[in-house]
Amino acid sequence: MSTDDQVLEEFTSKEYEHGWSVDFEADEAPMGLNEDIVKFISHKKNEPEWLLNWRLKSFRHWSQLEEPKWSNVHYPKIDYQVLKYYSAPKKGGNIKSLDELDPEMIKTFERLGISLNEQKRLSGIAVDAVIDSVSVATTFKETLSELGIIFCSFSEAVLEHPELIKKYLGSVVPAADNYYAALNSAVFSDGSFCYIPKGVRCPMELSTYFRINAANTGQFERTLIVAEDDSYVSYLEGCTAPMRDENQLHAAVVEIYAAKNAEVKYSTVQNWYPGNKEGLGGIYNFVTKRGICAGDHAKISWTQVETGSAVTWKYPSCILKGDYSVGEFYSVAVTNNYQQADTGTKMIHLGKHTKSRIVSKGISAGKSQNSYRGHVNISKRAIHSRNFSQCDSLLMGNQCGAHTFPYIDVENSSSQIEHEATTSKIGEDQIFYCKQRGLDEESSIALIVNGFAKEVMNNLPMEFAVEAQKLLALTLEGSVG
């Protein structure tokens, strides 16, 4: 057997580490989706009238839309009526201290390597933990609130800070934006809310950890981050889900609002269950993420390491409205076995002297399909703007595919755009060179792949860069975990 075949064989041997599930007592909505379910969800959360109306409007809009078919992914039609749209662990949410938390739940998070114990200040990262659709705990809340920073679950924010939610919800991703955004706007259950007041630099990384646990539920989080003038926050999102034979739907919306001189760094390490070696099961990850650089000199930076999901459809985007604003997108997307990813970014330049930078690294293995879809739009008014895009694909084996679809629209004469894409494979010579220096096959590939993805990895907050590197190597060993 040739080296390549041997290597590929090894790839499909390990298993998804996080495939276990736990039996919590859960509070669930009946199956199906209609206006009653929407009201059920809103009622469960004690939401004010205006929010219920917002949901209903979104639902009505969704009912009239058709699921988009233009992406390069194929999956059996989703029957939206056989999913449950609300499932909350009974002992969770609205807790005052960690003691109240279901011990099973604490164990869950420890198993995932997430520390909910504030006493363990080793990592110094504030965590908002969300199981299924409900935020179960948020750490360091008091410390942060002393600085005026609000970091809590979305549901809590609706009750405690309704004026902020009302002002910003839907301002970056309106409900009518697309099919999944509309769905999310109708049935979103929880997520995180983060508000950084003027001039404040958030002293610690903020992080949300999502975990889908219950079967047959869709996960619809809604995250909203608002950074006022001159503020800074770095935010990390991580996710896992148990192994199940059926596909599970995850349709999230993340909105970021950056005011003048504000900077928001949003990093994602996505590790949803990708389906088994035969392509059975796995998460459908359809996400709308968008940030608006509303003020001059604002900066939003998206960094993502995508290794999971059976089907991924996500385009974290930046609307560069303020003059001199900056949008960045760094991504490593790995697909193996039967995974399909259609991911990329949109950079919409509206303001003058705006800059965007896109670095996308795709790694395809097995029988997977990995597509980059990007849109750089330089509008007429966005004079003196610049964009640089680099999309590289690494193919492992000849049963997978790597595709790039970059759209570039330029409507003025003073802007500079550069786009480059390359496709390559790991050379036998490179592997032999590493082996001759004592590295075994797996280590050689891990080294080369990490070198390939380095530029993106360097943009992750240090604590997560190491995790992400390990994840990358493990993914390519056939597991995702």
Partner 1 sequence: MDISVINSIKDQFNKNEATYLSSSLSHRKSALDFALLHNFPSRKNEEYKYTPVDRILKKKFDFEKITTSKTTALHFEDHFYKLKGNHLVFLNGNYLPARSELLNDVCCQSATDSDQSFKDVFDALNVAFCENSLKIEVSENYRPQPFFIYYFYDSEQGQVFGNPNTQITAHSNTHIQILEKTISTGNYPVFINKKVSVDVKANAEVNITKIQNYKKHVFQVYNLEVNQDTQSKFNSNVYSFEGGLIRNNLSINQLGEHCESHMHGLYLIAGQTHVDNHTAVNHTQPHSYSNELYKGILDENSRAVFNGKIFVRPEAQKTNAFQSNQNINLSDEASIYTKPQLEIWADDVKCSHGCTVGQMDEEALFYLRARGIGKNQAKALILIAFAKQSLEYIPFEFVKEEIDTLIRKRLIG
Partner 2 sequence: MISIKNLHANIEGKEILKGINLEIKAGEVHAIMGPNGSGKSTLASVLAGRDGYEIMKGSIVFENKNLLDLEAEERAREGIFLAFQYPVEIPGVSTTNFLKTAMNQIRQHRGKKSLDAVAFLKLMKSKMKLVEIDQALLSRSLNEGFSGGEKKRNEIFQMAMLEPKLAILDETDSGLDIDALRIVSHGVNSLKSKDNASILITHYQRLLDYILPDFVHVLFDGKIVKTGDKSLAMELEEKGYDWIKAEHGSLETI
Interface residue list for partner 1 (CB under 8 A): 70, 378, 380, 383, 393, 395-425
Regarding 451 and contact with partner 2 (CB under 8 A), the answer is: yes
Q: Report what 97 binds from partner 1, partner 2, none; CB cut-off 5-8 Å by kind.
A: none
* CB of residue 428 to partner 2, shortest distance in Å: 7
Indicate the DSSP class of residue 81.
G
Neighbouring-strand partners of residue 150: 195
Contact segment (CB under 8 A) with partner 2 among 254-262, 313-321, 396-404, 444-452 equals 444-452
Q: 22 or 417: whose CB is closer to partner 1?
A: 417
Phi first, then psi: what are they for 369, rounded to 5°?
A: -125, 125
Amino acid residing at 235: Y
Q: Report what 393 binds from partner 2, partner 1, none; CB cut-off 5-8 Å by kind.
A: partner 1
Select from 419, 412, 411, 431 the least CA-distant residue to 372. 419
Regarding 49 and contact with partner 2 (CB under 8 A), the answer is: no
Regarding 425 and contact with partner 2 (CB under 8 A), the answer is: no
**Cα dist from 223 to 123, 231, 338, 382, 442, whole Å:** 23, 18, 29, 29, 38
Interface with partner 2 (CB under 8 A), residue from 279, 439, 467, 473: 439
Q: 83 or 453: whose CB is closer to partner 2?
A: 453
Regarding 453 and contact with partner 2 (CB under 8 A), the answer is: yes
* CB of residue 178 to partner 1, shortest distance in Å: 17
Q: 143 or 390: whose CB is closer to partner 2?
A: 390
Regarding 448 and contact with partner 2 (CB under 8 A), the answer is: yes
Residue 173 near residue 58 (C-beta atoms within 8 A): no
Regarding 398 and contact with partner 2 (CB under 8 A), the answer is: no
Regarding 430 and contact with partner 2 (CB under 8 A), the answer is: yes
**Cα dist from 221 to 51, 86, 176, 195, 315, whole Å:** 15, 11, 17, 17, 16
Interatomic CA distance for residues 122 and 30, integer angstroms:
42
Regarding 434 and contact with partner 2 (CB under 8 A), the answer is: yes
* CB of residue 427 to partner 2, shortest distance in Å: 7
Show Cβ contacts of residue 242 under 8 Å, excluding neighbours closer than 6 positions: 18, 19, 20, 21, 212, 213, 273
Interatomic CA distance for residues 294 and 297, integer angstroms:
9
Regarding 443 and contact with partner 2 (CB under 8 A), the answer is: yes
Residue 267 near residue 185 (C-beta atoms within 8 A): no
Distance of CA 219 to the CA centre of its chain: 13
Regarding 103 and contact with partner 2 (CB under 8 A), the answer is: no
Distance of CA 247 to the CA centre of its chain: 18
Interface with partner 2 (CB under 8 A), residue from 39, 51, 450, 473: 450
* CB of residue 392 to partner 2, shortest distance in Å: 9
| Angle at alpha carbon of residue 182, lines to 253 and 52, rounded to 5° | 95
Interface with partner 2 (CB under 8 A), residue from 68, 420, 427, 470: 427
Neighbouring-strand partners of residue 320: 293, 349
* CB of residue 430 to partner 2, shortest distance in Å: 5
Chain residues binding partner 2 by CB under 8 A are 2-3, 427-430, 432-441, 443-444, 447-448, 450-455
